Amino acid sequence: MLKILELFGGIGAPRKALENIGFNIKSIDYVEILPYAVQAYNSIFDIRYTPQSVIGWNLEPDILIHGSPCQDFSKAGRNNINTGRSILYEETLSIIDHKLIKRPKVVVWENVPNLISNGKKVKHIVHFNHYVDTMKSMGYKSFYAILDSSKYGIAQARDRLYTVSILENELKDREFKFPPGKELKRDLRYYLDKNVKPEDLPLSDSELSIFFKNENNELCVKEATKVGFKVVNLYDSINVEFPTSKTRRGRVGRGVVNTLTTSPRQAVYTPDGLRMLSAKEHLRLMGYTDKDYNNMKRSGITDRQISHLAGNSICVPVLEAIFKELENMDILKEV
C-alpha cells in the first residue's frame, strides 16, 4: 500500500496516475478548497472528502504531490505574487517542515514554466530557488524539467515545470532522471467524440470571423505574422481565444491541442466542419476516461465546470512516466 497526500488536489491526477500504473493507494488525505473539484474527485474515486484549505493541517505520507495555484507565475498572471494565491506553495513547505509526523520520501510539484523566469521585468525564479533551497534544508535534493505532455502520449502541447524532490537518504548518491519524451503515436483525431457535430458546439460569429478560404479552397485562420494567416488541416486544433486580437499568433495545433486553460476556447477542424472541443474531450486530453466524465456528470457537475477542472489538472500520462521512473529506482514502493 502506497500512502499519498494530495495538496491543491484538483480532480486527483496523481492518484489516477498511480492507480493506472498498478499501485494500491491509501490516501492519507486530499486537500482542495474548490467545492466542485472535491465533488468531481469524490465521483471519480467514490470517496467522500469535503473542501478544506492547506492552512493549518497534519499526517504521514510516502509521497506528497502538490500543484499550487499558478496564476501569478503564468505569463497571463495579473496578481502580485506576494499577495496572490500562488504564494500558497509556502504552505506546502510549512506542512513538510513541521506538520507531518514523518517527511515523505518524495515531493512532486507541478507548475507553469514561467516559475523559472529570470528576465528584467519578471524574476519568478527567486521563488523557485527559495522552494528548492528550503527543500534542501529539510534533507531533499530537487530535480526539475519542463515537460511537454505531447511527448508522453497525449495530444496536447502542454509545457509544465515538474520538480521532483527526493530525500537524500533515499537517493543514496543517485540522480533522478526525467523519463525521455517520445514521438506522439495517436494524434487529436483519436480523442474526438464521433457523436459530436459542428451544430452541437458551434463557434461564435466573432470566432468564425477569423477564418476564410484561400484561392486553393483551403481553410485558413488569421494570425499576427508576416503572412497574416495559417492553413488549417483536418484534425488540427485552433485556439480561438481573443478573436479580435491584432497580436495573436500560434493559434494552430498540428494534430494536437494547445495548452488547455480553465476557460478553453479551442476549435477542431473535422470532416464535418469546424466545432469547439467538448468537455468530455477536454478530460480525455488530460488523461481521464469517459467513465470519469460520466461519473462527474451524474454527480451534478456541469460541462463548463468539467472543462475548468480539466484545464486546472495535471496531465495524467506525464505523472505516470515520472512515477514509473521513481518506481524503477525503488523509491516508490508499496509497504
**59 falls in which pLDDT band (50, 70, 90)?**
confident
Q: Which of 13, 330, 22, 326 is nearest to 164 (CA)?
A: 326
Q: What's the pLDDT at 51?
A: 67
Q: Which of 43, 144, 148, 132 is nearest to 96 (CA)?
A: 132
Q: What's the pLDDT at 54?
A: 57
Q: Work out whether the CA dihedral 46, 52, 57, 62 comes out positive or negative.
A: positive
Cα–Cα separations (whole angstroms), residue 59 to 31, 63, 76, 155, 323: 12, 12, 35, 37, 22
Q: Max alpha carbon distance in the chain (Å)? A: 69
156 dihedral zone (left: phi>0; alpha: psi -120 to 50; beta): beta
Distance CA 176, CA 266 (A): 36
**8-state DSSP, 115:** G
User: In this predicted structure, which of 43-47, 104-108, 121-125, 290-294 has the lowest mean pLDDT?
Assistant: 121-125
**Cβ-contact 176, 164 below 8 angstroms:** yes
Section 59-73 average pLDDT = 76
**Cβ-contact 19, 43 below 8 angstroms:** no
State the cell numbers at 335. 509497504
Cα–Cα separations (whole angstroms), residue 308 to 20, 37, 161, 186, 295: 23, 9, 20, 24, 16
| Full DSSP string of 215-276 | TT--EEEE-SSSS-EEE--TT-EEE-SSTT-SS----EESSSEEPP-SS--EEEEETTEEEE
| Residue range 90-141, pLDDT digits in tens | 889 999 998 888 999 999 999 999 999 887 777 789 999 999 999 999 999 9
Q: Is the pLDDT of residue 26 over 90?
A: no
199: Cβ contacts below 8 Å, ≥ 6 apart? none
Distance CA 303, CA 40 (A): 12
Q: Which helix (H) or strand (E) segment is 165 a member of?
A: strand 159-167
Q: What's the pLDDT at 81?
A: 45
**89 falls in which pLDDT band (50, 70, 90)?**
confident
* Percent of the chain residues past pLDDT 70, beyond the cut: 91
Q: Is the pLDDT of residue 302 over 60?
A: yes
| Residue range 194-227, pLDDT digits in tens | 999 999 999 999 999 999 999 999 999 999 888 9
Distance CA 102, CA 62 (A): 9
